């Protein structure tokens, strides 16, 4: 069984991890956290979680996943906390940054199975989601997406522990919201599982059309097929393409850079590279010819822009995410024609956002 720390004593964790120790210095708004700083709150959350009957009923491995997520859920309040002019204290964006921190921490650890790591990352990223679900513009669509990223049953457990592990005047209201979240999940077949669809086309149609129905089955078939590669430099995307798509045309951003003599660090030049690549893609899309788009595509923002372009031409999009262990990544990067400086590669590791199942018709994970 994978475990983050055999010794879960707080004093021990402080001596082992600097980021645990620094929680002591992060203040919180007393209206929502009268218990004190982030360290105090986190300890109370861990205690509340371990006292929950539903947590105790989970298998040991699942308990370890939730415990680790609870330990990490507010880790980036350190970098996001702001003392506002009106005297309030905010930490906007701490969940998103915390997810990035968690992914990098567990990736560099080298011992965490991919599926376990990504569940922990998802729990950290969405730990406030059950409370704020019904304030979303489209709560059901938001829930469907989250259910494809993280186990919603675990998410509710973490959210409840997060609320019980604090002193605040609105605790009962927040716990009621979490209970409503649970019922909403069960009503729409998202409780502890990803919401399923009759087809990939039905999934994409629902997620990309504001007025679509959850169980609507579209009659239109995709007109073309695109494979969108995703992965850090040196992960092995080129090798995968040679093995599985050798007879498909490939649009390679690296190849265009080499052709034009543009460095990867040249922002203006990279804008030209991407525009050229998109023009090549449009040629294939108009002819309904399948092709591979080969680039890192390590953030959701990068991928969504391309997938929207492909979907405009009614293409079926398959995202292939490639990942290798950290040490192997740096070794393979050194053997590439276009070597990425080690410092740059480290920054890319921190920025990495693994593709979610809702992003495309199909998402394939190739993990070594």
pLDDT score recorded for residue 106 = 97
CA-CA distance, 43 to 31, in Å (whole number)? 19
In which domain, by residue range, is 46 found?
10-187
> Is residue 351 classed as helix, strand or coil in its secondary structure?
helix
Tokens describing residue 159: 């959210």
Q: Assign 158 a pLDDT band (cuts: 50, 70, 90).
A: very high
pLDDT for 67 beyond 80: yes
Cα 313 versus chain centre, distance: 27
| Average pLDDT score over residue span 349-366 | 97
Among 161, 187, 213, identify where a domain stops.
187
Pair (285, 172) in one structural domain: no
| Average pLDDT score over residue span 98-106 | 97
Pair (162, 94) in one structural domain: yes
Strand partners, 89: 83
Residue 356 lies in a domain: yes
pLDDT score recorded for residue 165 = 97
> 60-72 vs 38-51: helix axis angle to the nearest 10?
160
User: What's the pLDDT tens digit per position in 2-13?
Assistant: 999 989 999 999
Among 131, 158, 187, identify where a domain stops.
187
Q: Phi/psi at 340 (nearest 5 deg)?
A: -95, 130
Instruction: Classify residue 295 by its DSSP letter.
Output: S
Pair (34, 165) in one structural domain: yes
Pair (21, 162) in one structural domain: yes
CA-CA distance, 304 to 310, in Å (whole number)? 10
Pair (155, 56) in one structural domain: yes
Neighbours of 289 (CB within 10 A): 13
Residue 3 lies in a domain: no
Cα 86 versus chain centre, distance: 33
CA-CA distance, 110 to 113, in Å (whole number)? 8
Structurally, the chain folds into a number of domains equal to: 2
Residue 4 lies in a domain: no
pLDDT score recorded for residue 196 = 96
Q: Which of 198, 200, 251, 262 is nearest to 228 (CA)?
A: 251
Pair (281, 180) in one structural domain: no
Residue 206 lies in a domain: no
List, in order, residues 6 or more apart from 101 with CB less than 8 Å away.
19, 72, 75, 76
pLDDT for 336 beyond 90: no
Pair (268, 182) in one structural domain: no
pLDDT for 223 beyond 80: yes
Residue 65 lies in a domain: yes
Helix (H) or strand (E) holding 44: helix 38-51
Pair (155, 101) in one structural domain: yes
Pair (54, 141) in one structural domain: yes
pLDDT score recorded for residue 36 = 96
pLDDT for 267 beyond 80: no
Among 127, 159, 187, identify where a domain stops.
187
- Cα–Cα separations (whole angstroms), residue 150 to 69, 126, 138, 147, 357: 12, 8, 19, 6, 10
Pair (263, 356) in one structural domain: yes
> Is residue 87 classed as helix, strand or coil in its secondary structure?
coil
pLDDT score recorded for residue 254 = 86
Strand bridging mode 82-83 / 89-90: antiparallel
With 0-12 / 13-18 / 19 or more C-beta atoms within 10 angstroms meaning exposed / middle / buried, residue 22 is: middle
Residue 200 lies in a domain: no
What's the CATH code of the domain at 175? 1.10.3210
Neighbours of 20 (CB within 10 A): 20
Pair (173, 90) in one structural domain: yes
Cα 239 versus chain centre, distance: 25
pLDDT for 258 beyond 90: no
pLDDT for 334 beyond 90: no
Residue 201 lies in a domain: no
Pair (155, 279) in one structural domain: no
Least confident of 93-97, 216-220, 322-326, 353-357: 216-220
| Average pLDDT score over residue span 333-337 | 79
Residue 325 lies in a domain: yes
Do 230 and 296 form a contact (C-beta atoms < 8 A)?
yes
Q: Phi/psi at 148 (nearest 5 deg)?
A: -90, 0
What's the CATH code of the domain at 235? 3.40.50.300
């Amino acid at each position: 069984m994978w475990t983050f720390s055999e010794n879960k004593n707080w004093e021990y964790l402080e001596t082992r991890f600097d980021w645990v120790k620094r929680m002591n210095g992060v203040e919180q708004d007393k209206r929502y956290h009268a218990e004190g700083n982030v360290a105090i709150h986190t300890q109370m959350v861990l205690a509340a979680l371990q006292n929950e009957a539903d947590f105790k009923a989970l298998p040991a491995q699942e308990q370890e996943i939730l415990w680790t997520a609870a330990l990490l859920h507010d880790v980036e309040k350190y970098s996001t906390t702001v003392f506002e002019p009106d005297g309030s204290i905010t930490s906007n964006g701490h969940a998103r940054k915390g997810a990035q921190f968690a992914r990098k921490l567990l990736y560099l650890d080298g011992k965490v199975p991919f599926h376990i790591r990504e569940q922990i990352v998802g729990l950290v990223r969405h730990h406030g989601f059950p409370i704020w679900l019904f304030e979303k513009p489209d709560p059901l669509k938001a829930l469907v997406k989250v259910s494809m990223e993280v186990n919603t049953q675990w998410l509710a457990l973490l959210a409840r522990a997060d609320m019980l592990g604090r002193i605040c005047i609105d605790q009962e209201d927040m716990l009621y919201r979490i209970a409503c979240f649970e019922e909403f999940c069960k009503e729409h077949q998202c409780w502890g599982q990803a919401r399923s669809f009759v087809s990939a086309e039905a999934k994409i149609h629902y997620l990309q059309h504001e007025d679509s129905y959850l169980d609507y089955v579209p009659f239109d078939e995709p007109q073309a097929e695109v494979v969108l590669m995703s992965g850090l430099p040196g992960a092995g995307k080129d090798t995968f393409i040679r093995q599985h798509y050798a007879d498909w045309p490939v649009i390679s951003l690296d190849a265009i850079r080499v052709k034009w003599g543009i460095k990867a660090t040249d922002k203006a030049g990279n804008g030209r590279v991407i525009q050229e690549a998109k023009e090549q893609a449009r040629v294939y899309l108009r002819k309904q010819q399948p092709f591979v788009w080969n680039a890192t595509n390590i953030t959701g923002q990068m991928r969504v822009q391309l997938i929207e372009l492909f979907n405009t031409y009614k293409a079926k999009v398959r995202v292939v995410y490639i990942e290798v262990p950290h040490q192997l990544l740096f070794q393979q990067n050194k053997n590439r024609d276009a070597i990425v400086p080690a410092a740059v590669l480290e920054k890319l590791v921190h920025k990495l956002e693994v593709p979610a199942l809702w992003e495309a018709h199909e998402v394939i994970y190739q993990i070594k």
